[in-house]
Amino acid sequence: MIQVRRIGHATFETPDLDKAVDYYAAVNGLSLIGRGDQTAYLASNTGLLTIALQRADAARCARLTFEVAPDSDLAAVQKDLAAEGVPSERHSDPAPGVTSSLLLTDPNGTGVELYAKRGNLSVKPVAAGVGPLKLGHVAFFTPDPDKVGKFYQRFLGFRVSDWIEDFFLFMRCNADHHAVNFLRGEKPRMHHIAFELKDAAHIVTSCDVLAKNKIPIVWGPIRLGPGHNVATFHREHDGQMVEFYTELDQMKDEALGYYDPRPWHRDAPQRPKVWKLVDDPLWGPPPPPNFL
């Protein structure tokens, strides 16, 4: 089955497209590369399409895209998925820089769009806002994290990176500790979207940008347990949770099976495991009641 190589961009539906563009351009620091009546596309200063916005009645994360190897045959993948009972459909020119894709739906109801070739985007770097390196991961509530995780393992080639007890699953598709997370909750919905920053100094800068824009930090700065990322969390215009992070654990060699050693690891070597809730975060305040 297909092996996803990296997370691409996330598609958000939003009732207020203007406000959403304002947040992602002026606060988050992405560059607006396309804008219509119903849609907008924003890219990182590093040239990656990062966020697609679509006007809708309610705010939600509707879709994630993932890049597969450039020589992948999406028609063959579609056939293989159909043989396993997973329907999918082909799309042409679904987003800037993407000429062809394959769209399926995960068991949580989130669209999963695969594309094999990414064209160069002409991105005029912006000086405003935080300016993340890339979209890093997206976390979703789901009634059954194990079931959704098994779908990502079997059909998309993800690996289990860590669990917190039996309710919070972290999964990777490349060296990054996680690109998707699944958290047990009553109804399927996004919990947070996370953007990678350069370093801890960039985290400080991001806190200053949030303060200037009168956006409170909901949780952090902290060093989390699973993934060991230094992170903060805030809410954007629609109330969706956004994480800025740096220093995420890296599984540089799958055959070795442990994360590249860091002085803040408690295990030596640090391998995928089941964490206890009390071990998260490693430092910093505990999550506030309004975090989940």
Cα–chain center distance at 189: 14
- C-alpha triplet 186, 189, 194: angle, nearest 5°: 125
Instruction: Residue 194: name the closest of 234, 141, 245, 237 by CA.
Output: 245
Binding mask 103-122 vs Fe ion (x if CB under 5 A, - otherwise)? --------------------
Residues sharing a CB contact under 8 Å with residue 136, sequence separation 6 or more, in sequence order: 7, 176, 179, 194, 195, 196, 243, 245, 248
Question: Considering CB under 5 A, how many residues would be counted as binding Fe ion?
Answer: 2
Q: Kindly tell me which residue out of 194, 207, 209, 241 binds Fe ion, with binding defined by CB under 5 A.
A: 194
User: Token pair 């916005």 is at which residue?
Assistant: 53
Least CB distance to Fe ion at residue 154 (A): 24
Q: Does 243 bind Fe ion (CB under 5 A)?
A: yes
- Choose the binding region for Fe ion from 63-71, 169-177, 188-196, 213-221 (rule: CB under 5 A): 188-196
Listing DSSP states for 164-180 in one string gives ETTTEEEEESSSBS-SE
The first and second tokens of residue 46, run together, are: 């590093």
Query: Nearest to Fe ion by Cβ — which residue?
Result: 194
Q: Which is nearer to Fe ion, 183 or 215 (CB)?
A: 183
- Quote the least distance from Cβ 211 to Fe ion, whole Å: 21
Shorter beta-carbon distance to Fe ion: residue 243 or 249: 243
Q: Does 176 bind Fe ion (CB under 5 A)?
A: no
Phi, psi of 291 (to 5 degrees): -75, -40
By CB under 5 A, residue 241 contacts Fe ion? no
Span near Fe ion by CB under 5 A; candidates 7-15, 67-75, 117-125, 239-247: 239-247
**159, 153 contact by CB (below 8 A):** yes
Could you list the residues that contact Fe ion (CB under 5 A)? 194, 243
